[in-house]
Structure 1
């Protein structure tokens, strides 16, 4: 689990509540069940109306992207591809069948299996590029759901506040209750704005950022798969992928001399 997302949300909530209490506020003043029902219930309802069920069922996948963490580092993936390039030059691509089928990364596994099966290089590139486009679209769809929730929540908060003020203005017989009732009414606006800017929109941004990283990783693997299929020297494969990684991931892998790969010839 990537703790940065959870820590950010918790820190934001602590900052808001802490600032409120610092100014002498009462915590019970922030806990209003009716306001929470209007804001969160209304937001959930609006999101359900906005998206088909097939996309709503994938909300857990979006949360997994936002709160999960990458299991394979870019450096390890580069080293795996270089190793495969070395084996392919010594023994042929058929020797990669078992190695590729056991690899934990599904995209690299699929690409290498296509190479082992003797698929034309152009077709391999087309298939993997379609996989990349599908992954990009999926991440965009995940983010749009949370962006939508972030747009609806403040509006629901305003609606809750207006409803609360209607109730207040209809009960002016007791002026002593006017101030507390107005404060309760504005709690709905607080819930809507806070949830949008601390939970929904940041999660959408995190999904987009993670999606971009995933696409860049897949593009890196695509270059590696094609290099292995073309029989490129492992030294050149590593240099190409290291250059790609340094520009996309700010990663500069440890350099190795060409002599380290001479045995591949």
Structure 2
């Protein structure tokens, strides 16, 4: 689990609740009209912006990857692929049939090599799989960003509606307070939903999309080199180019360190 996402949301919720309780009661900030204009309006605008299929794919996938970490990082993938190249060099592609790996995308590529598929088929299939996954993940981050853009705008709409209602009832002082509260709560809901949840989730998904693109491309290149029976050393050196410079020699420094 990506603990930073959960911690950030929990910390933000604690801050808001603490500030609310310091000056009143939580019930003062609960209003159905403000919730309807924010959540209903944002949902309606999102439906207009995106096809229904994108919402069905993007929202669950985005939520899943916002709260989960990849099982293997780029450095671990390089070492894993180098180890697989060593197995393939000693036992041939058949030796990969008994190998178990955690990453489903990597496991799929290993299966293709073990079954003796053509290199062009492996590349086309894995690249198509990668591109479809990245497309859905990109849809997810765009949807969350769209909701984050809509929420403050609909908060302003709710504020304007509340002010119209307030001015229309100036003759009844008892209604001025509730209508003003509705107006202000709509803005509060919109700002909170956008800046505490939707926009941070969209940014997190954008970063994870970049990581997934690098890691899956790394896997494709590694699988193809294993398919071509490249040496483990060559596989490792070629794939290390995907890593930032400061991460390329971590393993070497550990090996050279005194016991």
TM-score calculated relative to the size of structure 2: 0.86
Spell out, residue by residue over 1:42-72, the C-alpha distance to the aligned partner (whole angstroms, 9 max, x if none): 2123223433332222222220011112223
Q: Matched residue pairs, number?
A: 253
Distance 1:29 1:55 in 2: 37
Q: CA deviation at 1:240?
A: 2.5
1:146 corresponds in structure 2 to 144
Deviates more, 1:235-244 or 1:163-172: 235-244
Distance 1:237 1:176 in 2: 76
Q: CA deviation at 1:177?
A: 5.3
Q: CA deviation at 1:179?
A: 5.0
Distance 1:148 1:250 in 2: 35
2:67 corresponds in structure 1 to 67
2:77 corresponds in structure 1 to 77
1:8 corresponds in structure 2 to 8
CA separation of 1:136 and 1:152: change in aligned 2, threshold 3 A: same
Residues 113-262 of structure 1: pairs in structure 2 closer than 5 A: 113-175=111-173, 178=176, 181-247=179-245, 250=247, 252-255=249-252
Please, what is the CA RMSD of the aligned residues?
2.5
Distance 1:10 1:33 in 2: 23
Distance 1:156 1:13 in 2: 21
Q: CA deviation at 1:20?
A: 5.4
1:262 corresponds in structure 2 to none
2:95 corresponds in structure 1 to 95
Distance 2:32 2:8 in 1: 25
Secondary structure (helix, strand or coil) at the match of 1:133 reads helix
Distance 2:218 2:204 in 1: 21
Residues 86, 234 of structure 1: 8 Å contact kept: yes
Distance 2:121 2:128 in 1: 11
Spell out, residue by residue over 1:132-158, the C-alpha distance to the aligned partner (whole angstroms, 9 max, x if none): 222221111111111111122112111
Spell out, residue by residue over 1:62-91, the C-alpha distance to the aligned partner (whole angstroms, 9 max, x if none): 200111122234343323212211121122
Residues 220, 245 of structure 1: 8 Å contact kept: no
Distance 1:109 1:54 in 2: 28
Distance 2:65 2:16 in 1: 26
Residues 246, 252 of structure 1: 8 Å contact kept: no
Structure 2: stretches of 5+ with no match in the other structure: 254-259
Structure 1: stretches of 5+ with no match in the other structure: 257-265
Distance 1:150 1:211 in 2: 19
Spell out, residue by residue over 1:221-253, the C-alpha distance to the aligned partner (whole angstroms, 9 max, x if none): 112112212222212222322342235x94644
